[in-house]
Amino acid sequence: MNEIKNRIWLEKVIRTALEEDLGAGDLTTNAIIEHEMNGQAVLMTRETIVLAGLPVFSRVFELLDPDVRFDYDFQDGMRVPAGGRICVVAGKLSAILEAERTALNFAQRMSGIATLTRQYVDQIGSLKTKIIDTRKTAPGLRLLDKYAVVMGGGHNHRMGLFDGILIKDNHIAAAGSIKKAVLLAKEKAPHTIKVEVEVEDLTGLDEAIQAGADMVLLDNMSADLIQKAVDLAGKRVLLEASGGIKLENIQEIAKAGVDLISVGALTHSARAVDLSLEVITIP
């Protein structure tokens, strides 16, 4: 998913967003802007960001003006300083004005996620632990949210319920025990997918490993307990720490030696970064 090149789902997301904003048409632009007038617009950032969503931003304009042109100074995944010029858009002024808000809404959200992710990743420094996302994304925007996490230096957990197995407390309760749940999953689930199970203590971890789990999610454990879990697991399974992760404590948890730390806030609570599009009319 590192390249947003498969247009089929992306086109649908962008068209839905454009229709939501444009509807029957832009009353203001229709009333004031000559249809033939051209213009340029400069995308700037008012704060230091990690950029994500530039191909989506551009595609919004292309849908309203197939002849629009772009001049890029930065690419997705790059850090852009406050005041930095990201790209220049040149085309029909009316299309630029109509696409502006929708394009910015994508870029501001996605760059917000990438920028927040980078903050977490920077806390980890040279440690091998990977920062991963969750399924706590904005409905309809999961693929873009998760792409932004990668642009910020994070990694993706499963995309949905269909491409990963994560046995949670409810599944365990229904199965009767961690062991039973893991065995059922290993028997019935696709052989291409690893089996991960959520545990709340070291006993659970031990049971999961014995049952043959490939990965274990350590739920809401302290750094100390995580350290013990790492020792107990002895690299027999991948270990993911989850729950209560913040910028303040992530380094400590990473040092405890887990392979993965998942952070829901990356996608459910990133604030939009402050981008602006300065439009210049061309006479």
Active site residue 168: yes
Q: What stretch of H or E contains 49?
A: strand 49-50
Active site residue 198: yes
**Nearer Cβ to a copy of itself (138/224):** 138
114-133 positions binding a copy of itself, by CB under 8 A: 130, 132
Asked whether position 246 contacts a copy of itself by CB under 8 A, the answer is no
52-71 positions binding a copy of itself, by CB under 8 A: 63-64
* Token digits of residue 98: 């109509």
140-179 positions binding a copy of itself, by CB under 8 A: 140-143, 155-168, 170-171, 173-175
Catalytic annotation, pick one of 85, 101, 142, 255 = 101
Is residue 269 helix, strand or coil? Answer: coil
**Nearer Cβ to a copy of itself (64/256):** 64
Give the integer Cα–Cα distance in Å for 283 and 281: 6
Give the integer Cα–Cα distance in Å for 250 and 150: 18
Active site residue 136: yes
Strand order in the sheet with 130-132: 130-132, 260-262, 238-242, 215-219, 195-199, 165-167
Residue 283: Cβ within 10 Å count: 5
Catalytic annotation, pick one of 46, 168, 246, 271 = 168
**Nearer Cβ to a copy of itself (8/126):** 8
Give the integer Cα–Cα distance in Å for 230 and 257: 6
18-37 positions binding a copy of itself, by CB under 8 A: 18-35, 37
92-111 positions binding a copy of itself, by CB under 8 A: 93-95, 97-98, 101-102, 104-106, 108-109
End-to-end CA distance of the chain: 42
Active site residue 201: no
Active site positions, annotated: 101, 136, 168, 198, 219
